[in-house]
Amino acid sequence: MTEAGSKLFCNCKANYRGMEPNTNVCPVCIGLPGALPVVNRKSVELALAASLAFSCSTPEYIVFTRKHYFYPDLPKNYQISMYERAGGVPICRGGRVRYLDIHAWEWKECRLRRINIEEDPGKTVYGEGGILRSAEAYVDYNRSGVPLLEIITEPDLGSAREARQLVEYVLLVLEYLGVTNPRLEGAFRVDANVSVEGGERVEVKNIGSTLDVERAINYEIMRQSAILSSGGKVERETRHWDAERGSTRPLRQKEQEEDYLYFPDPDLPPIFLREMVDRARSLAALNDPSALFAQVVELGVSKEMAWSLVTTRPALELFLQSVKRGADPQLSARLIAVDYKGELREKNRDPYDPSSWPATEYVTELVRLVKEGVYTYDAVKGIVLPKLAENPMVDLKSVLPQRAENLDSIIDEVLKREERAVKDYLSGKAQAMNYLVGAVIKATGKKALDPRAIREAIEKRLGRGS
Ligand SMILES: [Zn+2]
């Protein structure tokens, strides 16, 4: 058994980012003769949790398969992967992803063909001109052997946008399970098979972001449709997505699957899953974004805000904790998911970092102050949230707008003294109110910093308020 956070079959680190090339390697992951793989059970358990989250049928045991091909970044000349034939048993067959279409707020479904656990190859770095034109290629094996989940869907997707939404939702589920952090460089890649009616299937590789899933597929649909409408033929091929140019280029003719010469890896015995199933099942149940989304919506929060919470987990946790402690759900959701998140974005702070968020007590206190009419929501939003977003640990009292103790009598005094402005306001000159508000703020020694509250108090005094 290897450590959690390690590569799939050795103790090198799974997070290879930022390391000098070829420093995160050992005899196993560079395929030295005689080195034997030992499976990382944590990876298998997480893959099992993902399979259960996607309603896959779970086999009694899994069998790893060797997939042979020659490429410089694959030191053994085979990749340890999974395959449903040739004696292999993948972690998941069948299954489905229910994903949210956030334009129609409708759940859609895409069937899964299977899920494989496999090892990542190393990384080939090309010189100037990239994969298509460079004269040099350098290989870095730091990534070689990092656990990878390959999720293969059935052809159930009808548009590029659906494909993007599916990928986004799958990544969200995997993030909740702790399988991956999709925001890390190279955390996921998408290969998209695209075909239009009357043409062959084209596989597009090297798609590295969810935005590019949509762009690449739309580009391919356009390219293939243009060929067909000018009387040409779309050949079966593999193409490379060039994100910079926003287009695809031919890469190689597609190998037939038989070319890979699959067979079960004789170095790895079958792994029985029974002991892992219960824990994986409860992990999947406790970390289901769709159930959490439903829970938030049930509290009376709009779907847009609920989704904004669910897609930023620290925000969701803060929300659920605040509500648990009695905070009003709608106000909390608005404060957290809309305005505080907006402040973080403006200040370029990471909303996925829990330390960007204030303590639960701060949220419950702010919501209470608004609810009880001590401050208006706008005062909290305009004055308190920007300061909190700068430093969520700041003493809350020090960022609350100060309030004059005797505001009512100050207002009375000002209204008596500013007879003319009052008359102007009452006869319909709306701008006279601004003058009165300014006069009150001045009279409090600039302590009453929430102009809207003062405005409301004055209107009430003059019989105009609600
Ligand atoms: Zn290693």
HEC states along 350-383? CCCCHHHCCCHHHHHHHHHHHHCCCCCHHHHHHH
Residues near 127 by Cβ (< 8 Å), separated by ≥ 6? 134, 135, 136, 137, 138
In a domain, 419, yes or no: yes
Q: Give the tens place of pLDDT for each residue, 294-319.
A: 999 999 999 999 999 999 999 999 99
What distance in angstroms lies between residue 192's CA and the mean position of ligand 1's atoms? 30
Q: Which residue has the higher pLDDT, 228 or 256?
A: 228
Tell whether 148 and 270 lie within a shared domain. Answer: yes
Tell whether 135 and 264 lie within a shared domain. Answer: yes
Residue 410: pLDDT band with limits 50, 70, 90: confident
What distance in angstroms lies between residue 376's CA and the mean position of ligand 1's atoms? 58
> What is the pTM (predicted TM-score) of this model?
0.85
In a domain, 383, yes or no: yes
pLDDT at 257: 58
Q: Are strands 237-242 and 202-207 parallel, antiparallel or unpaired?
A: parallel
What distance in angstroms lies between residue 187's CA and the mean position of ligand 1's atoms? 19
Q: Give the tens place of pLDDT for each residue, 337-379.
A: 999 999 999 999 999 999 999 999 999 999 999 988 788 898 8
Q: Give the tens place of pLDDT for each residue, 73-124.
A: 999 999 999 998 888 999 999 999 999 999 899 999 999 999 999 999 999 9
Residue 453: pLDDT band with limits 50, 70, 90: confident
Residue where one domain finishes, among candidates 217, 243, 274: 274
Residue where one domain finishes, among candidates 243, 274, 305: 274
Integer CA distances (angstroms), 207 to 89, 190, 192, 215, 243, in order: 28, 5, 8, 9, 8
Whether residue 57 has pLDDT greater than 50:
yes
Number of structural domains, the chain?
Answer: 3
- Tokens of residue 83, six digits: 């395959």
In a domain, 193, yes or no: no
R_g over Cα of the chain: 29
What distance in angstroms lies between residue 142's CA and the mean position of ligand 1's atoms? 8
- Tokens of residue 440, six digits: 């009150």
Q: Is the dihedral of CA 446, 451, 457, 459 positive or negative?
A: positive
Q: Give the tens place of pLDDT for each residue, 133-164.
A: 888 989 999 999 999 999 999 999 999 999 99
What distance in angstroms lies between residue 129's CA and the mean position of ligand 1's atoms? 31
- Three-state SS for 242? strand
What distance in angstroms lies between residue 134's CA and the mean position of ligand 1's atoms? 29
What distance in angstroms lies between residue 44's CA and the mean position of ligand 1's atoms? 17
What distance in angstroms lies between residue 1's CA and the mean position of ligand 1's atoms? 13
Residue 2: pLDDT band with limits 50, 70, 90: very low
Q: What is the mean pLDDT of residues 437-448?
A: 76
Residue where one domain finishes, among candidates 208, 242, 274: 274
Tell whether 173 and 75 lie within a shared domain. Answer: yes
In a domain, 245, yes or no: no
Tell whether 46 and 166 lie within a shared domain. Answer: yes
Tell whether 264 and 335 lie within a shared domain. Answer: no
Q: What is the mean pLDDT of residues 6-35?
A: 94
Q: How far is CA 56 from the centre of its chain?
A: 23
CATH number for position 443: 1.10.10.410
What distance in angstroms lies between residue 27's CA and the mean position of ligand 1's atoms? 6
Q: What is the mean pLDDT of residues 249-255?
A: 71
What distance in angstroms lies between residue 28's CA and the mean position of ligand 1's atoms? 5
What distance in angstroms lies between residue 181's CA and the mean position of ligand 1's atoms? 21
Place of tokens 């990928």: 167
**Nearest in space to 349 (alpha carbons), one of 379, 392, 316:** 392
What distance in angstroms lies between residue 118's CA and the mean position of ligand 1's atoms? 15
Long-range contacts of 374-377 (CB under 8 A, 24+ apart): 374/403, 375/400, 375/401, 375/450, 375/453, 376/450, 376/452, 376/453, 376/456, 377/331, 377/334
**Exposed, middle or buried: residue 296 (CB in 10 Å: 0-12, 13-18, 19+)?**
buried
Tell whether 269 and 294 lie within a shared domain. Answer: no
**Nearest in space to 186 (alpha carbons), one of 160, 204, 206:** 206
What distance in angstroms lies between residue 141's CA and the mean position of ligand 1's atoms? 9
In a domain, 227, yes or no: no
Structural domain boundaries enclosing 451? 407-461
Residue 446: pLDDT band with limits 50, 70, 90: low
What distance in angstroms lies between residue 173's CA and the mean position of ligand 1's atoms? 28
What distance in angstroms lies between residue 7's CA and the mean position of ligand 1's atoms? 7
**Nearest in space to 251 (alpha carbons), one of 236, 239, 262:** 239
Tell whether 50 and 147 lie within a shared domain. Answer: yes
What distance in angstroms lies between residue 29's CA and the mean position of ligand 1's atoms? 4
Tell whether 150 and 266 lie within a shared domain. Answer: yes
Tell whether 331 and 448 lie within a shared domain. Answer: no
Q: What is the mean pLDDT of the chain?
A: 91
Place of tokens 């949230």: 385
What distance in angstroms lies between residue 26's CA and the mean position of ligand 1's atoms? 4
Tell whether 295 and 425 lie within a shared domain. Answer: no
pLDDT at 1: 37
In a domain, 190, yes or no: no
Q: Mark the residues whose beta carbon lies below 5 A from ion ligand 1.
A: 10, 12, 26, 28-29
Whether residue 11 has pLDDT greater than 60:
yes
Q: What is the mean pLDDT of residues 272-281?
A: 94
In a domain, 433, yes or no: yes
Tell whether 444 and 354 lie within a shared domain. Answer: no
- Three-state SS for 287? coil
What distance in angstroms lies between residue 13's CA and the mean position of ligand 1's atoms? 8
In a domain, 466, yes or no: no
Tell whether 172 and 270 lie within a shared domain. Answer: yes
Residue 466: pLDDT band with limits 50, 70, 90: very low
Q: Identify any residues that bridge with 370 across adjacent strands, giving them in sequence order.
A: none
Q: What is the mean pLDDT of residues 57-83?
A: 93
What distance in angstroms lies between residue 124's CA and the mean position of ligand 1's atoms? 18
What distance in angstroms lies between residue 10's CA and the mean position of ligand 1's atoms? 5
